[in-house]
Amino acid sequence: MPELPEVETVRRGLEPAMLGARIRKVELRRADIRFPFPNRFAERLKGRQIVALTRRAKYLLFGLDSGEALIAHLGMSGSFRVDAAKAIIPGAFHHERSKDPKHDHVVFELDNGNVVTYNDPRRFGFMDLVRNEALATYPRLCALGDEPLAPEFDADRLAMLSAGSRAPLKAVLLDQKRIAGLGNIYVCEALFRARLSPSNPASILSNARGGPTRAAVALAQAIREVLEQAIEAGGSTLRDHRQADGALGYFQHSFSVYDREGSACPRARCGGTIARISQSGRSTFYCPVCQK
C-alpha cells in the first residue's frame, strides 16, 4: 500500500503536469471505486483550473478555481499515470503499479495536453469533491493527527502526544489520531534509527513535567529523516525514469529493518540479528541488540 512518502512522491510528480492547467474532460469508466463518485463528478470538474495540489497525511487535495477541492486517496493499489505532452512522469511505488488498462478508472484530459489516468486494481482508493470551507469538517480529514513533516512537529509535540500513555511506543506512533500517515514501515525504520525498542511504553518520551526526553528528541528527528530520505529516493526515481524516456517502473526502497527478519543488523559493530514480533496484529521488525 502506498505510504506517506510515496503519496508525497506522487504529489510532486503530478504537480508539474497538473498545476495551473484546466480540466478539459473527465472520463469515468465506472460508477465507483471504493465508494460511488459524487454526484455530477465529471461535470463539476470540467472546465475547472487546478490552482493548488497539496497533501494531508495520505490524501491528495486538488484545489480548483470553483472553490471546491478534489480529494483523492490511493487506497491499497491506486496510482496515477501521466501521459504528458512533453515528458512522462510515472508514480514511484514500493509495490509495482498496475499497467493493466482495465484498471484505468478515471481519465483527466488537461488543456496543456497532459492526460492523467487513475489506475486501481483493488479499488480501495476513492475520490470526493467538497467545498473548501467543508474540508475542516470533512470526516476523514478532521480526525487526523499531526502531520509528521510539518515544521511544528518536533520533540515537544511528540512528548505532548504521548504523555501519560501506557501503550507501546509503536502503537502510539501508528495512531492516526495522534500522528497522521506514518505507516508500519516508517514506524519500524524510525524506531531503529532512534535506537528505541518498539515495546517501550510511549511514556518514555515525556518527563515528569510533560517535556521531551532524549528519546523524544532522537525519535522526532528519526521520523523526519526516514520520511525525507524516502521522498528523496522517490524523487530521484522520478527523475531517472523521466530520463529513461518514460519507461514505467517502481523503485525498491532500501529498508534497514522492515521485512528483514533474520538479516544482520546494518548498524556498524552491532552484531545483532533483525527480529520480527507481532504488535496489535502487525509485524514489527527491530534489532533486539541496539534498540533499547
Per CB under 5 A, residues contacting Zn ion are 265, 267, 270, 272, 287, 289-290
Please state, in angstroms and as integers, the Cα–Cα distance from residue 102 to each residue in 119, 148, 246, following that order.
Answer: 8, 36, 20
Active site residues: 2-3, 58, 282
CB-nearer residue toward Zn ion: 123 or 267: 267
CB-nearer residue toward Zn ion: 103 or 170: 170
* Alpha-carbon torsion angle 37, 42, 46, 51, nearest 10: 20
Render the burial of 49-62: b for 16+ CB within 10 Å, e for the rest. ebeebebbbbbbbb
Beta bridge partners of 284: 277
Minimum distance from CB of 264 to Zn ion (Å)?
Answer: 9
Distance CA 227, CA 149 (A): 8
Minimum distance from CB of 262 to Zn ion (Å)?
Answer: 13
CB-nearer residue toward Zn ion: 233 or 290: 290
- Secondary structure (3-state) at 217: helix
Minimum distance from CB of 215 to Zn ion (Å)?
Answer: 17
Task: Give the Cα-Cα-Cα angle 154, 156, 160 (nearest 5 degrees).
Answer: 115
Minimum distance from CB of 272 to Zn ion (Å)?
Answer: 4
CB-nearer residue toward Zn ion: 94 or 260: 260
